[in-house]
Amino acid sequence: MDINSCYVGFLPAQDVFGRDFSAHADELASKLKSGDLVAARIANFDRTRDPLVTIADRDLGKIDSGHLVKISPSKVPRLIGKRGTMIQTIEMATGAAITIGQNGWVVVSCETPEGLLKAVKAIQMVDEKAHVANLTDQVKEMLESKGES
């Protein structure tokens, strides 16, 4: 599995099925297809083998819907903000549900197209201006001004 790293993630079939996997009885393509988006966590890693990935946890598994946004992995902490303030600001102003991966992939789900566009624009703004002071205030300003027009 592509984890946006120089390593390829290894996802055991028993994590996908939640039980022991039998190649004769179970069809892996019935659960996951090539190109499916998955929220996963690195379960184990050492430099001699590819990382072991798991989806057997709360809020992990196949992602069925949402808009995918790519940011630099080094900007992920800035997008989250201190105590989650930045991401909460974006979610509250747009009504979007945002899932942030440590690898830089962000999934945005929103009921309204306007909220989705505002959330994506705010995420891209954080990615471009992560070095700027008072970025949270600038994002709030942008979200409020877009809502009035």
Q: Is the per-residue pLDDT at 121 higher than 90?
A: yes
Under 8 Å between Cβ of 122 and 137: no
If asked whether residues 37 and 95 sit together in one domain, one would say no
Same domain, 77 and 135: yes
Domain that holds residue 27: 13-61
Do residues 70 and 132 share a domain?
A: yes
Report whether pLDDT(29) > 70. no
Q: How far apart are the first and last CA of the chain?
A: 42
The angle, 0 to 180 degrees and rounded to 10, between the axes of the packed helices 113-128 and 135-148 is 150
Q: Based on the domain organization, do 44 and 109 belong to the same domain?
A: no
The structure's pTM equals 0.81
Query: Looking at the domain assignment, is residue 2 inside a domain?
Result: no
- Number of domain units in the chain: 2
**87 within some domain:** yes
As a whole number of angstroms, the distance between CA 23 and CA 112 comes to: 42
Rounded to whole angstroms, the Cα distance separating 42 from 51 reads 7
Classify residue 25: in a domain, yes or no. Answer: yes
Q: Chain-wide mean pLDDT for the chain?
A: 87
Q: With respect to residue 91, please indicate whether it lies within any of the assigned structural domains.
A: yes
Which of 10-19, 54-63, 73-82 comes out lowest in average pLDDT? Answer: 10-19
The reply to whether 52 and 32 lie within a common domain is yes
DSSP conformation letters of 72-127: -GGGHHHHH-GGGHHHHHHHHHH--EEEE-TTSEEEEE-SSHHHHHHHHHHHHHHH
